[in-house]
Amino acid sequence: MKGHLLAAPISVALPLAMVGALLVIVACTPREGRSAAGVDRAGVASLPDAPASVYPPPETVRSFDLLTPGWHSFVWTGPSTTEPSTALGCIADDYAIAYRLASNQTYQQYVPGRTDLSNMGAVAKYESLWVLITADGARCQGMPVHSPQEARRLNLRRVKSWAYQIQGLEEEGAIDALADSDYELVVTEPVRSVKGAEGFDTAGMVARLHQEGKLVLTYLDIGEAEDYRAYWGDDWVAPSADQPGEPDFLITVDPDGWSGNYPVAFWDERWKDIVIRGENSLIDMVLDDGFDGVYLDWIEAYQDENVAAAAARLGIDPAHEMVAFIQEIAEHGRGRSQSFLVIPQNAAELAQEVPEYLDIIDGLGQEDLSFGGAADTDWGDPMSGDIPTAPDEQEYLLELFDLYLGAGLPIFCIDYAINQPNVQAAYATASDAGCLGYVTQTPLSRLTQTPPLSPPLPPRPPARDLDLSPAGWHSLVWTGPSGTDPATALACIDGSYAVAYRWLDSTHTFQRWVPGRPDISDMDTLSKYDSLLVLITDSSVQCVGMPIEP
């Protein structure tokens, strides 16, 4: 949805039988000259590069001690397919040998500097090794935990409330209202991209919101050209419903009734110059102003019949071209800041058509899950909300959400409703669907007057699935929160294991957990990255949905 900007722009243990010679374990428009935030433009620091967000992503490295000399569990948390020498590089010269339990119930070993004695292949994320430490005071410093992509997604998943306002930002008190609100993430307009508002202190606005600890994204329409933007040339001619405009990448009129908005041939190099590559590109403007990322509208341009027809005439697949376009936006932004977030709005089915799309983006915005509203309305107009979404369309969206949630991507739902029963129904449906809801009106010209009546539930944590086949001993690394009791941590394989062991580095002893037998169990609560050796008793056992704590 777009507001139309007019004159006012807007550890693992070895079973006892294994101790001996083969000690192996695997762990497992504003007034000219006046700042939107009440700060003079001259008072804003120069931003030659993308500033770091004040809403920091999760830690991307960890450090831990391996005291004293002897056997220790060692859980690798970096990227999969890492060579053992690299994974163990943080303790180079401090260990003699490392072992890993393989799925075929055999052990692989790695001896540093002795390729003739080593048969351990690449190490996967969350694999557990049993290492023989030979130095006193050994410490692994700076092991990677999250890739930049994981850190971005985990950062977004921490957000528990959000707001969306792309008009009225020049009004007195508008930025104060955003800054003083309880919303943790806000999507706002890049106001100085609007004709006549080039002097608006967008960087000051973002800085003010950052001062209040908010994550700040900017709205960008990448599928349509908007005639109120500064890039719209004086000699440009708007297209009609059946004739392209000038330049000819202007294809047609907005099918939803938003005036001044025109679907484009988004693959056209001239359009990409405006959005990404040009000297005054929208993306560089966004980065210079300090936004934490972009919220991209009109992804559905690839589905527009006129745009699709233009693509067909050139032999272009519009779905793949849209994914390539978004990837180029992401790469440009992340070239300056790896924490740069990319969230597209709508067209959720693009992930079905081009699955690699899920690897590029950091989340999904979805309008009208329950209710929509009309275009070109004013705040308070009855047509600004309460238009119900067709049940079959809602069901289709809910099915598509599984693709995004399954990939660990958070979803942000925007519904447009005014009547309180509809408002509450929209929030309830969004929560049940696993997305973070925001119910407002289509002008998006102020903060909603219908916030949730109670704080929303925390977003679903990211999770992982483990294959523990065949029956026998397997390493299992707990990736959920510290302080979890063994029964809860192993609930995903309840009924399919007989015993679990944990090696305690501090005492060089084993603890065990036998389900249902507290009289012979001495394992206490688990910490994140604790490694267990579990005896699986069934074939084809899967641990589904183990949480990954940020």
pLDDT, one tens digit per residue, over 530-543 is 999 999 999 999 99
Distance CA 148, CA 461 (A): 18
Nearest in space to 26 (alpha carbons), one of 534, 426, 531, 453: 531
State yes or no: pLDDT of 460 exceeds 80. no
Determine the residue type at 68.
Answer: T
CB-based contact 163:438 (threshold 8 Å): yes
CB-based contact 464:546 (threshold 8 Å): yes
Nearest in space to 453 (alpha carbons), one of 426, 492, 471, 415: 426
Per-residue pLDDT of 281-299, as tens digits, reads 999 999 999 999 999 999 9
Task: Give this prediction's pTM.
Answer: 0.79
- Percent of the chain scored above 90 by pLDDT? 83
Determine the residue type at 196.
Answer: G
Is the pLDDT higher at 32 or at 361?
361
Q: What is the pLDDT of residue 91?
A: 98
| pLDDT, average across residues 397-421 | 96
Question: Which residues, at least 6 apart from 394, have a Cβ–Cβ distance to it below 8 Å?
Answer: 369, 370, 429
| pLDDT, average across residues 103-112 | 95
Angle made by CA atoms 438, 440, 441, in degrees to the nearest 5: 150
State yes or no: pLDDT of 40 exceeds 50. no
CB-based contact 370:389 (threshold 8 Å): yes
Q: How high is the mean pLDDT of the chain?
A: 89
Distance CA 36, CA 208 (A): 9
Q: What is the pLDDT of residue 50?
A: 44
| pLDDT, average across residues 41-46 | 26
SS3 category, 334: helix
CB-based contact 217:189 (threshold 8 Å): no
Question: Which residues, at least 6 apart from 333, have a Cβ–Cβ distance to it below 8 Å?
Answer: 50, 283, 286, 287, 293, 294, 340, 342
Q: What is the pLDDT of residue 158?
A: 85
- Among the ranges given (17-21, 244-248, 383-387), the one the predictor scored with the smallest mean pLDDT: 17-21
Cis peptide before 58 (omega within 30 of 0): no
Q: What is the pLDDT of residue 8?
A: 37
- Token output for 15: 């079973």
State yes or no: pLDDT of 459 exceeds 70. no
Distance CA 546, CA 534 (A): 15
Per-residue pLDDT of 477-532, as tens digits, reads 999 999 999 999 999 999 999 999 999 998 999 999 999 999 999 999 999 999 99
Bridge partner residues of 62 (DSSP): 143
Per-residue pLDDT of 303-360, as tens digits, reads 999 999 999 999 999 999 999 999 999 999 999 999 999 999 999 999 999 999 999 9
Distance CA 221, CA 214 (A): 22
Question: Which residues, at least 6 apart from 433, have a Cβ–Cβ distance to it below 8 Å?
Answer: 369, 398, 401, 411, 413
SS3 category, 344: strand
- Structural domains of the chain sorted by starting position, each given as residue range(s) with its CATH number in brackets: 11-28+61-145+461-550 (no CATH), 157-362 (3.20.20.70)
Q: Is 395 exposed, middle or buried (0-12, 13-18, 19+ CB in 10 A)?
A: exposed
CB-based contact 63:104 (threshold 8 Å): no
Q: What is the pLDDT of residue 146?
A: 87
Per-residue pLDDT of 57-81, as tens digits, reads 777 899 999 999 999 999 999 999 9
